[in-house]
Amino acid sequence: MIKTMYKKRSFRTQLISAILVFISIFLVFYLVLFQLVKQIIIKQYSEAAMQSVNAVADNIDYSLQEMEQLSNSILLNRELINSLKNQQTETYLTSLNSYYASSVLVEGIYTYSSMGYQSVGANIADGLESFPIDQLENTSGEIIWFPAEEKDISILSSNIEKNYFSMGRKILEINSLEELGYMRIEADEQILQETYKNLIEDGGNIYIFDMQGNPLSSSDENLKWAKSQEQALIQEILLNDSSGNVEYTDNGTAFVAIYSSCNNAHWRIVKTIPENILYADINNIQIFAAFAGISFFIAMLTVSLLYAGKITQPITKMIAQMQEVEEGNLSVRVHNDVNYELDSLGESFNHMIQRIEELMEHVVLTERNKNELELEVLHAQINPHFLYNTLNTIRWMAKIKGEDSINNALVALVKLLRVSISLGNSMITIKEEIDYIENYLVIQRLRFNQLFKISYTIQKEYEDIYIPKLILQPIVENSLIYGIDEAETFAGQARLLTIRIYTQKTADSLEIIVEDNGPGIKEDILENLFTDEKNINKFSTVGLNNVNQRLQMYFGYSYGLNVFSRIGEGTKIIIRVPIQNHYEGDKDV
């Protein structure tokens, strides 16, 4: 037999393991749920940051649209265009100056035409040299935006450096599309910085660049990010959608770049911020959640250990008490008042011990009675032996006097008594059992004269089959007693009772059949034939129930008697026994 190889664990260990598994499942669920919540919060933070960047982009668009509208107004001013075409310098400059004065965003308006270089507003030191004629020459009147540049501005007798971004376009006569010159409108970069200054956070910066990656404005005075090795990141932003976010690492620090488009998608405004700052609140929540989870685990582990100890302590105590019982101490009693189940288990254990004590007392009493009964049986054997010896003496006296019938009857009775008192052999052959019946019938013929006839059909090969002794005799006796007496009552006159004893073989057993033509057995008697009723004489071997029980005791419950009977027709009793030609030893019945 294959044994399952595993190490048995105590109930306390299993209970703690179960609690730990439950806690672990809860913690996993807790962590998964927290990660989901964290992702939702990160998404909300990112969306909030994106909304703020989009709002700044809208403000920048508003300022740039004002500059575009200013340039459109200049081109649509017929008086200004005519003064340019007619080279009326004073009128031309007066009109430009009025446009300059009307805008708070514009730092200066600069043109180059057939009248040469003209300007209103801030006086740029390099003048015409900084005018991007070559970049505007191949355009068709569309607006071109130029990156922010540091320029020298002449104010009174001194020069100052300021960062300007600008837009340029060709000056066209609207109706004829005649090219009249070039125009450039300069604006202070400070305008852009004012729009995004509220976006700047510790460790982060704001950058604005065009679609060529040229920096236009930055909260970083040196435009380090836009001019550094992060060109690949800039290109990724330019190739992506008009808004979104990109994660990157700079000098071991994780950053998030949140970007949006402005100036009709010609510019990108980018907000960079370290992740630990953007998600500072989330990180604090995560630290708190981790601390809470660890604290919960420790608390639950402590509680589970205490709880497991409280539950298993009475069980451990009960096991110790059971071991005492195992060692023979039946005075042990379990007293638990922990919970219903353990209390019930303790009561059942106490009842079991009490029952064991009662059974042991019963066994002791039974053994004592058995010994007494065996002694009584031993004493009872004296009477049959005395009777056997006495009958032998009478038989010889009858033989001497020539009383043959009395002599024959006594011989048969002596043989019967010899079989009955031979306690050493409980199994005899079928032939010996038939001989016993013949001796029995010698006496019965004196009683019933010639009112019955018996025949035997026993195959030669079955004569040596062993069966328990006194199996057939009680059946024949029942046939004689009930068959003859009740036949007279039933028929109103005496009739010949016929008894047949024969054998037949089945697949795995031998059937010995006793069949008579008697009056039959009543149905109510037949139904209770094998009812185990205690006989007054406990040593009696008479009765079909006794025969059936003895057969099953020797051979098992698949063997025994089957009785078939019909009123007025007779009775057929089938004795089923195994086929065995040898007997290995005696058995007590």
Question: Domain check: are 163 and 177 in the same one?
Answer: yes
In a domain, 118, yes or no: yes
Map tokens 């700044």 to a residue: 56
Is the pLDDT higher at 186 or at 333?
A: 186
Checking if the pLDDT of 477 tops 80, the result is yes
Question: Domain check: are 223 and 266 in the same one?
Answer: yes
What's the pLDDT tens digit per position in 299-331? 877 877 777 777 677 777 777 777 777 777 777
pLDDT-based confidence at residue 2 (cuts at 50, 70, 90): very low
Lowest-confidence segment of 110-119, 317-326, 357-366, 404-413 by average pLDDT: 404-413
In this prediction, residues 102-128 reach a mean pLDDT of 86
Is the pLDDT higher at 484 or at 574?
A: 574
Question: Domain check: are 137 and 202 in the same one?
Answer: no
Q: How many CB atoms lie within 10 A of CB 530?
A: 15
Confidence at residue 372, expressed as pLDDT on a 0 to 100 scale: 57
In this prediction, residues 170-199 reach a mean pLDDT of 85
Checking if the pLDDT of 188 tops 70, the result is yes
187, 214, 237 — which closes off a domain?
187
In this prediction, residues 325-346 reach a mean pLDDT of 69
Checking if the pLDDT of 461 tops 80, the result is yes
Confidence at residue 272, expressed as pLDDT on a 0 to 100 scale: 81
Per cent of the chain over pLDDT 70 is: 76
Q: Would you say 92 and 84 are in contact if contact means Cβ atoms under 8 Å apart?
A: yes
Checking if the pLDDT of 390 tops 60, the result is no
Question: Domain check: are 198 and 152 in the same one?
Answer: no
Question: Domain check: are 204 and 183 in the same one?
Answer: no
Confidence at residue 385, expressed as pLDDT on a 0 to 100 scale: 45
Question: Domain check: are 168 and 146 in the same one?
Answer: yes
Q: How many residues does the chain have?
A: 589
pLDDT-based confidence at residue 500 (cuts at 50, 70, 90): very high
What's the pLDDT tens digit per position in 569-582? 889 999 999 988 77
Checking if the pLDDT of 229 tops 50, the result is no
In this prediction, residues 420-437 reach a mean pLDDT of 76
* Nearest-angstrom CA–CA distance, 548 and 562: 9
User: Torsion angle, CA of 219/222/225/228, rounded to 10 degrees?
Assistant: 170
Question: Domain check: are 70 and 159 in the same one?
Answer: yes
In a domain, 290, yes or no: no
Residue 217's DSSP bridge partners are 208
Question: Domain check: are 67 and 183 in the same one?
Answer: yes
In a domain, 374, yes or no: no
What CATH number is attached to the domain comprising 269? 3.40.1840.10
Mean pLDDT, the chain, rounded, equals 77
Looking at the structure of the chain, the number of domains it has is: 3
* Nearest-angstrom CA–CA distance, 245 and 260: 9
Q: What is the DSSP letter of 381?
A: T
Question: Domain check: are 479 and 520 in the same one?
Answer: yes
Structure tokens at 109: 């308006």
Question: Domain check: are 164 and 210 in the same one?
Answer: no
187, 213, 243 — which closes off a domain?
187
Confidence at residue 183, expressed as pLDDT on a 0 to 100 scale: 92
In this prediction, residues 235-264 reach a mean pLDDT of 78
Question: Domain check: are 485 and 564 in the same one?
Answer: yes
What CATH number is attached to the domain comprising 72? 3.30.450.20
Checking if the pLDDT of 377 tops 60, the result is no
What CATH number is attached to the domain comprising 463? 3.30.565.10
User: Torsion angle, CA of 468/471/473/475, rounded to 10 degrees?
Assistant: 180
In a domain, 422, yes or no: no
Confidence at residue 508, expressed as pLDDT on a 0 to 100 scale: 86
Domain that holds residue 536: 454-577
Rg (CA), the chain: 63
Question: Domain check: are 116 and 199 in the same one?
Answer: no
* Nearest-angstrom CA–CA distance, 109 and 106: 8
In a domain, 256, yes or no: yes
What's the pLDDT tens digit per position in 529-551? 877 554 433 333 347 888 888 88
Confidence at residue 544, expressed as pLDDT on a 0 to 100 scale: 82
Lowest-confidence segment of 236-245, 364-373, 440-449, 576-585 by average pLDDT: 364-373
What's the pLDDT tens digit per position in 24-75? 787 788 778 777 877 777 777 677 777 888 888 888 888 888 888 998 998 8
278, 310, 333 — which closes off a domain?
278
In a domain, 535, yes or no: yes
Percent composition of the chain: helix, strand, coil (DSSP 3-state, to 5): 50, 25, 25
- For 111, the 3-state DSSP assignment is strand
Map tokens 């129930």 to a residue: 545
